[in-house]
Chains A and B, each alone.
Chain A
Amino acid sequence: MFKRFDPSHDTSTSTQVKASIQRSLKSQILDRHKSITEDTLEVLLPKKSPLVQYKVGSHMMLYCKRSEHEDKSPTDEPVLFQHRDGPIMPTLKLLHRYPTLKFTQVTVDKGAIPFLLGGANVMCPGLTNPGGEMPADGSEQDEHGFDKPGLKKGDGVVIYAEGKEFAIAVGTMTMSSLEVRGKNKGIAIELMHYLGDGLYQTDEI
């Protein structure tokens, strides 16, 4: 989605995010990513410093932290993004900087690394091969007594790579983790943002 992103062409003018919107961004993140606590998120996105938002194309919203400077106009650093009404996800550079900030995550085996660096979607075997990891299914049951999947279709995930320290990409599950394990065929994660894409190369706008 950000393969050829270029902030000088592709962004609208910025507007300040309303306090109510910023609250709902945070509550949605807390709801979807259980390892992130409210206190941590308050440190990351303090109430007193509102984010600014840029519209990218017609369906992408990019949220940035603004820095004021004495000698030049303010600069905005991308921190979160949301495609249509999909999951709100962090930029890779934000994740790299805060090693304890744990969004819901998966790991691909090292064979998948070159493909992801080219912007390709994650195929099921990348997660099910030795070296790949996904949250376990069945730690909870639904009202009919069936196992709940560790990841649902549509969940936003941060993608790590076998043997690497830094996150490699961010994407959306196109099937549940149960289906990924069961079918083990086809696209498991649609890639949104990856190392080397236009968003990654944008430190500030």
Chain B
Amino acid sequence: MSETVAIPEDNDSNLLPRRSVVYCGACGMPPEYCPYGPDFETHCDPWLARHHPELRALLAERRGTVVTAPASVKPTTDVPTPARPAHPWTTADRLTAFYEQYVPDKVDSVPALLEKYAGKEDKLFLALTKKYGPEPSDPYYSDSADYDDDEESNDDDADDDDNRVPADGADVTSDSNQKNKKRRGAAAKKVSEGTVATRVVVQKISQRKRRHLTVIQGMETVPGIKLKDASKMFSKRFAGSSSVKETAVGTKEIIIQGDHQVDVAEMIVDKFGVAESCVFLDMDGDVVPLR
């Protein structure tokens, strides 16, 4: 909070006492509300531990939580979400999870595969999903109900227990699964024809008074990604609103509130499996490679 001027109000502090309020440096909320945000364990709690350890201890006590090292603080009892991993999957985690699900006896070959397909991970995952089925979802991003209801996990369920009888509307279920599969097939085909080169540009736009937007262009050139889903994941990860807009030239862009340029670029590499060489940062007009 910027206390820009000393207002003479302080002379009348008996009538209207003024207090300085601590707001979370990570999410901007009063810290007692941080546990309701998506970044409590990864951002808020570490910030609080560093800057206001006493307040952190007090709030944890009110929630009935034992205070330990920041990373291992469990979610509060009144937030009914399971504990989340501290970080999203790396490409290696992602590949391991895939092999554990579909070909567990070949998990050992993961390091060799990563080496062989370095820089071409997107192609590797595309080939694997075509051969075996949809990728398992990263538990880091599946912390809330609407993500569990994601189409891909529905597919997983259907594949896993074919014998299970749905409670009602069995036809509807299988129908929608087919549709999803078709869509994914079509998207995959388009890419395998090599008509689109993957190229994603992440740009930061500064507005007045410390307000920023992060704009991602070219996500539609990434194989197998739905822009709406991607937007939803960004919104969740960066605790701000995110939307898909059509540009004047007919391409699509994702706009996220706040300055997350580098974090977004890294997430595109780590989470969406886009090769680093395909991700660029727009630094005030200069488009530079991520690394």
User: B18: which of A6, A98, A110, A196 is its contact (CB, 8 Å)?
Assistant: A98
Interface residues of A in 49-74 (CB under 8 A from B): 67-69
Q: How far is the CB of B138 from chain A (nearest CB, A)?
A: 22
A6 to B258, CA, bound (A): 12
Interface flag for B50 (CB, 8 Å): no
Tell me which residues across on chain A come within 8 A of B291, comparing CB atoms: none
Which chain B residues border A21 with CB–CB below 8 Å? none
- Contact: A43 with B12, CB < 8 Å? yes
Assess whether A201 is in contact with B209, with CB atoms less than 8 Å apart. Answer: no
Interface 1/0 per residue, B47-81 and A, CB below 8 Å: 00000000000000010000000000000001100
Are B29 and A44 interface neighbours, CB within 8 A? no
Bound state CA distance, A114 and B76, in angstroms? 13
Which of B30-38, B87-95, B223-231, B272-280 has 4 or more CB atoms under 8 Å from chain A?
Answer: B30-38
Chain B residues contacting A165 (CB-CB under 8 Å) are 30, 32
A99–B19 CB distance below 8 A: yes
With both beta carbons as reference points, the residue of chain A lying nearest to B13 in the complex is identified as A43
CA distance A13 to B4 in the complex (A): 22
> What residues on B are CB-neighbors of A31 within 8 Å?
none
Question: Cβ of A178: which chain B residues have Cβ within 8 Å of it?
Answer: none
Interface residue B208 (Cβ < 8 Å from any Cβ of A): yes
15 A-B pairs within 8 Å (CB atoms) are namely A8-B208, A39-B15, A43-B9, A96-B30, A97-B18, A97-B19, A97-B20, A99-B17, A101-B16, A117-B36, A164-B32, A196-B28, A196-B29, A200-B28, A203-B1
Report the 10 A-B pairs with minimum CB-CB distance, sorted nearest first: A8-B208, A166-B30, A43-B16, A43-B12, A96-B21, A67-B5, A8-B207, A67-B4, A43-B15, A164-B32
B residues whose Cβ falls under 8 Å from a Cβ of A: 1-2, 4-5, 9, 12, 15-21, 28-30, 32-33, 36, 62, 78-79, 207-209, 211, 241
